[in-house]
Amino acid sequence: MPPAGRFETGELIFVRPRFDPSAALDNAILATGAATIDWLRTRGVAVPSNETVVHVALAVHDAASDELSFVEATPPAVRLTRAAAFFAAWGNGSAFYHGRLRDPRVRALGVRAADLALRQLGRPYADDFQPPPRRFYCSSLVDYAYWRAAAEHVFVDEPFPLIFEPPDFWEEYYRAQNLTLPVNATGSNPTLLLHSEHVEFGQVAFGQVAFGQVAFGQVAFGQVAFGQVAFGQVDAHDMGAPPRAA
């Protein structure tokens, strides 16, 4: 069954902002997400829906204070963000998905995975989506933490080739950093992790659930100023890696 409500340490939060398909960045995110889902389906993964997400982070739930935070790789560096600030930063119209590993054996490693992610606090963000461990993009931090905790890759059963769609957009993205578009590079992206056959997820129903019911402490939804942050403030860095690439 998909997870519902309360986040436990090591579980996953995915973000889908409000997209504008006429915008170049949004179009690139959607195109790369769709190509990622196609890659999974051609390998026999039953992907029942077509959600594309741009960010993923690991939950850190402090049982003593009942405070929820998320450890995330986002520019300029890996950081720990309190839940209220995390949700408010994404703005009105964003959708959030609560994910966890299906295998109870792997799920039991959530605390260790979160601890391994927390050890990366302050590590630089990987603008060019290079692999860990010196720098991280959002999905590479999550993938790396579980890989180290489980001593095996837990999200995909074979290396994932970074997908850059449409190529012209990503060539310009890399050119702006005085770099060239990677060829035959492997990694991850948030959409890949969301639709992994080893992950189950459900959408967080903000209009129906108070923060306290999903381990957000005593803060009610109405107190978070979602309307103060517009999606226009989200840039390529927030994709976590080229939509699968992060």
Check residue 5 and give its pLDDT: 61
* Torsion sign, CA atoms 103, 207, 213, 8: positive
Q: State which H helix or E strand residue 140 sits in.
A: helix 138-150
Check residue 222 and give its pLDDT: 31
| Full domain range(s) for residue 130 | 12-239
Does the residue 42 lie in any domain? yes
Count of CB atoms situated within 10 Å of the CB of 22: 7
DSSP letter, residue 135: S
Does the residue 1 lie in any domain? no
Does the residue 3 lie in any domain? no
Check residue 233 and give its pLDDT: 32
pLDDT tens for residues 200-227? 999 987 543 333 333 333 223 232 332 2
DSSP letter, residue 236: G
Count of CB atoms situated within 10 Å of the CB of 33: 28
Does the residue 4 lie in any domain? no
In contact, 56 and 190? CB cutoff 8 Å: yes
Does the residue 180 lie in any domain? yes
Does the residue 61 lie in any domain? yes
Does the residue 92 lie in any domain? yes
* Residue 196 belongs to domain with CATH number: 3.90.1720.10
In contact, 144 and 188? CB cutoff 8 Å: no
pLDDT tens for residues 70-107? 999 999 999 999 999 999 999 788 999 999 999 999 99
The Cα 70–Cα 127 span in angstroms is 20
pLDDT tens for residues 44-73? 999 999 999 999 999 999 988 989 999 999
Does the residue 6 lie in any domain? no
Higher pLDDT, residue 225 or 32: 32
- Give percent above pLDDT 70 in the chain: 81
Q: How far is CA 144 from CA 25, 115, 121, 183, in A?
A: 26, 12, 14, 21
Check residue 232 and give its pLDDT: 31
Our count of domains for the chain comes to: 1
What is the pTM (predicted TM-score) of this model? 0.84
Q: H-type helices in 58-137, by residue range?
A: 83-90, 104-107, 110-118
Check residue 3 and give its pLDDT: 58
